[in-house]
Amino acid sequence: MEYGHLADIGREVVESQVRRPLHERLMRRLLRFVLPYPARFGPLFGIGQRLRPWLPRALRRHVPPRAPVRELPAPRHSRRMLILEGCVQPVMAPHINDATARVLDRLGISLVRGTGGCCGALSQHLSAPEEARDFMRRNIDAWWPYIEAGIEAIVITASGCGTVVKEYDRLLADDPAYADKARRVAALAKDLGEVLREESLEALGDGVPATKRVAFHSPCTLQHGQQLNGVVESILRRAGVTLTQVADAHLCCGSAGTYSVLQRDLSQRLLANKVEALAADAPTCIATANIGCWHHLQSRAEQPVRHWIELLDS
């Protein structure tokens, strides 16, 4: 059963037959107007970071501080992969893609930072499918020169984005101008875990890991959307990371894109249960594979929350 496809159909049916209250319509439109555009979201988030020391604790936990800036490797390898920059992640956590570039460089792969932006997931999940397809077309146009130049893959570090990019062929199947290109993009799209599971990790050296005990949260989009359950865990174990036991690892953390904003009460209950399960085996760190989960978990967890690729970036 392809539940993602059913959800897409269900959202469109509900949107056509149910009129939402005014405040819900305004909130959904605001999210679509701001979040997919780094040029809009970035300045607003930057204000929050500058005001962070004076914010109430409950609000401050939703505004992560800026990560230290580290040097990025220059492209130098014959193997090259293009990375999805995304929309929210380069604003909130640019260090994730930066860490990816450094790790892949040590494995003999240069990461190409192209243009492009939001994958279209946010609009798709907020019942704006044509707007989502516009984002998809823009990405295809931005990526196509790199694809023609022979990039090996399109690397995606946010599992929620990966789930959608791998569906470009289906979502643009009826677009005669983009259907063939969308199939090519979907075939090249790889979650970061899919890339590293094929590589030897010996080049990463003996400095892995800096963190000894890690509780890994596998996002729903990684487990169920992309069917990659266990892939990241296997990579971390190969790298020497000790993974703690996590009960009910298949359950959602409550982030689910904009769900944490639009369904706050249920989202917070799911978050409380997930954080309790992740902390039960006394980890020194929590790791995940999706920007939404990362932000949601760090708003409540006492342990530091990191993207799993950062554990390999020593």
Nearest to 249, CA basis, from 284, 204, 281: 281
Say how far apart CA 102 and CA 203 lie, in whole Å. 12
Reported as a single tens digit per residue, the pLDDT across 160-216 is 999 999 999 999 999 999 999 999 999 999 999 999 999 999 888 765 666 689 999
Phi, psi for residue 283 in degrees, rounded to 5: -75, 160
Look at 44-53, 66-75, 189-198, 273-282 and tell me which has the smallest mean pLDDT: 66-75
Lowest mean pLDDT among 62-71, 125-134, 140-149, 285-294: 62-71
84-94: pLDDT as tens digits = 999 999 999 99
- Taking each helix axis from N to C end, the angle separating 129-148 and 179-188, rounded to the nearest 10 degrees, works out to 70
Task: For tokens 């204000």, name the residue.
Answer: 47
Q: What is the model's pTM?
A: 0.92
More confident residue, 23 or 243: 243
pLDDT at 3: 55
d(CA 134, CA 294): 27
pLDDT of residue 60: 86
Tracing tokens 């006394």 back to the chain, one arrives at 282
